[in-house]
Amino acid sequence: MMAPSEDQPEPVIVFAPVGRDAAASVGLLNRSGIAAKTCDDLQSLVAALQAGAAAGFIAEEALFGQDASLLFKWVADQPPWSDLPFILLTSRQEQAAIEAWRQRLINSLRNVALLERPVQAQTLVSTIQSALRARARQLELRGLLAEREQAAQELEKQVILRTQELKAANEALRDQMTVRAHVEEKLRQAQKIEAIGQLTGGVAHDFNNLLMVISGGLEMLDRQTDPARRKRLMDGMRQAAERGSGLTRQLLAFSRRQELQPQTIDLARQIGGMRELLDRSLRGDVHVTLEFSPDLWPVEVDASELELVVLNLAVNARDAMPRGGTIEIHAENLPLLDQGGSTKDFVTLSVSDNGSGMTREVQARVFEPFFTTKDIGKGSGLGLAQVHGFVQQSGGKIELQSEVGRGTKITLFLPRSSKEPRPDHQHVDLHVARRPPASAGSVLLVEDDDEVAALVSEMLEDLGFQVVRAATAAAALGALANGRRVDVVFSDIMMPGGMNGVELAREIRARRLDLPILLTSGYSEVTKQAAEAQGIKILRKPYQLAELSEALRGALSRHDVN
């Protein structure tokens, strides 16, 4: 269908080839200001409609007996916006056949208005004008649809252009992210190097002090004959060794590699039993108050590590109160604390003081390893880092509140235990070792370090064992293959030669299932699960004589039970 023209409006097509209806109708419409033209046959009617029409005025007798399929096809093929109005001029013929034919004609033309002869001029003009208004609305709709289609096409172009721009921006962003990732990786590497330098410097400083006490004490022992002075030297070296062991434990706790032994404990009883230790560790002008809720829930933590944590916090609080003060240790239940989307019961353990407090800058770094505000030699900077590592590894969290001049409060959130604590705890005496009978048995000691092997051999012999030493796992297997009597194997985990202590134990079990095995390591977390899977206990280095005796008796007794 041709587009309408503003200069030449589409005409009304008149099809009335019989009589004077066509000429009279066109004349009447023209006088009324309506463009109109006539058609002589159906073919010219369809051609005129295809050229563009505002309406169709058809006398029904012009279609009697005619094949109007081309007209009906044109009506059916109109675009969705178009429904050309037709005015059908009819006569008063009520025969059934004519009525049926007229109804089919109306259905085929679709948008039809009927005018019955005789028709007044005003009625004809009014009907034609109504049809033209309806057609004008259709043409408006066509214009709107065309505008919408044009807008859609324009929008599609904009979308394509914007998509291309976004693609380019995305590629540029990916390039920036790649560059940023490289920069961040380099920054992390620099931070790691700085942290390692700080770590090694701090460890070297503290261990050099400890080694100085031990090496110097050993040299002075050879020069002293006074028992009192020898005892003081021995006590100093023993304390240095214990400080070194504590420093190692703090390092492992900070790195979350410390092998914890959680158990259900009663906080009030456990910390209450530290009263004497706290009094010895603090000055006389520092007072400690303990306040525990009467219905305090049990918690599941490593008891010895918890005591070390409380002692660290108390010593820090003491150092923050150079003129004396009060340390308050308080514990209470905290039910249903949200923990990562789930709820969990906790027990809060807080240690607070009324000392100097911390600035915001210090609070931001207080849990960093080797960060300390104390004078050189008065603190390693690992105390609070160890506390933080212990709490995280125990499944809890830690909070810090501090104000300059008003003191500090550190709160530990410890997970509640569903079990009941044991009524009492058996502690190993770390200073008094009971000597077993002289016939304690034979030990195959597997240790690659000659100095450590010499010391452990002395300890084993002091416990009444006969010692056979092997420097590697292969040598140990060779000693067992020679038929030498061995009652228990005591092996280090980390050894040269391609086979560690756990693998050695597995090989021994394959050959001699009846032979007890005890392993030792200063860093046992890596192989803990593998050892426990075989039912083998690990003695943590450094250990004292009583701990070694207890571990060997346990290994032998477990074997006897099995």
Q: What pLDDT was estimated at residue 259?
A: 58
Q: What pLDDT was estimated at residue 349?
A: 92
Question: Are β-strands 488-492 and 517-521 bridged in parallel, bridged antiparallel, or unpaired?
Answer: parallel
Q: What pLDDT was estimated at residue 427?
A: 41
CA 218 to chain centre: 53
How confident is the prediction along the chain (562 residues), in pLDDT tens digits per residue?
A: 444 445 568 999 999 988 888 899 999 999 999 999 999 999 999 999 999 999 999 999 899 888 999 999 999 999 999 999 999 999 877 788 888 899 999 999 999 999 998 889 999 999 999 999 999 999 999 999 999 999 999 999 999 999 999 999 999 999 999 888 888 777 767 656 665 565 565 566 566 666 766 766 776 777 777 888 788 778 777 877 777 776 676 566 555 455 567 888 888 888 888 777 777 667 778 888 889 988 899 988 888 788 878 888 888 888 888 888 889 999 998 887 665 666 788 899 999 998 888 888 887 777 776 566 654 444 444 567 778 778 888 888 888 888 888 889 999 888 888 888 766 544 433 343 444 445 678 999 998 877 778 888 888 888 889 988 888 888 888 888 877 788 899 998 887 777 888 888 888 888 888 889 999 887 655 566 677 777 788 888 778 888 888 889 888 887 655 5
CA distance 146 to 79: 12
Q: What pLDDT was estimated at residue 394?
A: 81
Q: Which residue has the tokens 């434990």?
A: 249
What are the E-state strand segments in 460-511?
Answer: 465-470, 488-492
How many angstroms separate the most distant Cα atoms in the chain?
A: 155
Q: Take residue 332 and report the two structure tokens written for it.
A: 């209470």
Cis omega (within 30 of 0) for bond into 415: no
Element (H, E) at 218: helix 121-221
Whole-angstrom CA distances from 42 to 62, 74, 319, 361 are 9, 12, 114, 98
Whether the Cβ atoms of residue 72 and residue 79 lie closer than 8 Å to each other: no
CA distance 43 to 454: 123
Residues carrying CATH 3.40.50.2300, the chain: 12-145, 441-561
Domain 263-415 annotated CATH 3.40.50.300: no
DSSP string for 327-385: EEEEEEEEEEEEETTEEEEEEEEEEEE-S----HHHHHHTTSTT---SPTTS--S-HHH
Q: How many CA atoms lie within 13 A of 420 on its CB side?
A: 3
Question: Are β-strands 342-353 and 407-415 bridged in parallel, bridged antiparallel, or unpaired?
Answer: antiparallel
Q: Take residue 47 and report the two structure tokens written for it.
A: 């051609």
Residues carrying CATH 3.30.565.10, the chain: 263-415
Fold of 12-145: Rossmann fold (3.40.50)
Q: What pLDDT was estimated at residue 133?
A: 93
Q: Which residue has the tokens 């007996």?
A: 65
CA distance 312 to 308: 6
What letter does residue 472 receive in the DSSP assignment? S
Class of domain 441-561: alpha beta
Whether the Cβ atoms of residue 250 and residue 369 lie closer than 8 Å to each other: no
